[in-house]
Structure 1
Amino acid sequence: MSNTDFLYTCETHLSDPGFATSLPPSNPAPPKLSDPEIAKIKEEWEEKQRLNKAKEADKSKDEDTTDKCKGKDSPKESSATKSPNPSVPLAPIPAVPVASSHARFALHREIFAMRQMEHRKRRQVARVKQVAPMLPSVPRT
């Protein structure tokens, strides 16, 4: 059971010392990569792209010779078997940040108790609305 709850508040309430206390960040920022590491990763990616292009070129040569041997001269069939434009490099997928960028706060006990009481009242009202139609009515005579 998670004890995390979201409560949207203004900056004035967050700066109030009787409302909430700021918590330290739970997940520190990921370490920054140095320039040599970035260059190495970029070089590896470019090498993979060159290998992929070479494989596609070999594959298209094999398909062309196979098509000529079988007598396929239809442009529809040859374009359907080829891969989409190999000259356009695929962009790497950007990494999605895992941690939330919002500051975290702990509500003080009194504020948290008032919030719980409000939720409890809402649940009770909903339960009354659900159960009331099932109760027998009062005799009229």
Structure 2
Amino acid sequence: MDDYPLLDLFLTMLWFFLWIMWLFLLFKIFADIFRDDEMGGWGKAGWIIFCILLPFLGVLVYVIARGKSMTQRDVKQARESEAAFQDYIRKTAGTAPAAGRGSSVDELARLAELRDKGAITPEEFEKAKAKVLS
């Protein structure tokens, strides 16, 4: 252990960590290239060849040139995934045996949340609750 000082160990770990980060970024860029609907096939092929032949320069240029749209595609995908998940939950909850009760329970929960936030008064909550339960 004497011929490998602690500073060398630290630098080795740093370089390894940076290499892993670069691989992560490279795979994220490849996923973004294939996810982009606006880019044509030749554009995708060009970016992939550029990132394979000159990996560090290709990744750097891609992040500089398309980083903002890359973030927008990530946000769009996250929103679509969340919407699909919420839709799945609604469909699954709607197929339960007490489907009619689920919607009134949801409505009561929403009304209670509005009351707790102060958006409606307790009297308005009671009126709406009576309406939902009738």
Q: Pick the structure with more helix per residue.
A: 2
Q: TM-score, normalised by structure 2?
A: 0.32
The structure whose Rg is larger is: 1
Q: Pick the structure with more strand per residue.
A: 1
**Structure ranking higher on relative contact order (CA contacts 8 Å, 6+ apart):** 1
Q: TM-score, normalised by structure 1?
A: 0.30
